[in-house]
Amino acid sequence: MKANYLLPNKYKLFGWILFIIGLIGGIYLVGTDYESDVLNLKVFALYYDGTFFTENSGFFKIIENSIVDELVSIAIIIGGLVVGFSREKVEDEFIYKLRKDSLVWAIIANYIILLLTIIFVYNFTFFDVLVFNMFTPLLFFIIRFNFLKLKSNSNEE
């Protein structure tokens, strides 16, 4: 079974490191209510709606923004993609099936949880749900895939 969208196995470690750094950074950001003044840089915004205090909205603006949350998001997404989509040491059809099944499971689990939170979570708390939901499909996929792999590994002959 040749799945040509997979990265070589050697990227896996790099992916894990990036993913875990991203997750730790993400938890820290959520813990501090996304208030960060570190790394304030001028950035290019495709569309900027201003904040509650400025009227400076419009397309193609150069604005000031702390890029910590951007870096954390990029680390989680790229790290997660690399972890989930790099080859196993022995990549065969069974592993391919586990990966596919985990993806299906992750999407279904993610949207069931999202549905529940849509029904039961309101106002600004729902903003947190939206933030988490950017990463949960990847996270569920990685957890499920590695869980299935460990399970099939554990029962020896």
**Closer Cβ to other proteins, 46 or 90, answer by number:** 90
**Closer Cβ to other proteins, 76 or 95, answer by number:** 95
Instruction: Pick from 16, 67, 81, 88 the residue near other proteins by CB under 8 A.
Output: 88
94 near other proteins, judged by CB under 8 A: yes
Instruction: Pick from 8, 93, 119, 122 the residue near other proteins by CB under 8 A.
Output: 93
Tell the residue number behind the tokens 């869980």, with chain if given: 147
User: Which amino acid, one-letter code, is at 111?
Assistant: Y
Instruction: Pick from 18, 76, 95, 138 the residue near other proteins by CB under 8 A.
Output: 95
- Cα 49 to Cα 132: distance, rounded to the nearest angstrom: 22
* Helix pair angle (68-84, 136-154), 10° resolution: 30
**Closer Cβ to other proteins, 32 or 152, answer by number:** 152
- Residue 85's alpha-carbon distances to 46, 88, 122, 136, in angstroms, are 30, 9, 35, 16
Instruction: Judge whether 7 and 18 are in contact, CB under 8 Å.
Output: no
* Binding site residues, other proteins, CB under 8 A: 1, 88-90, 92-95, 97, 149, 152-153, 155-157
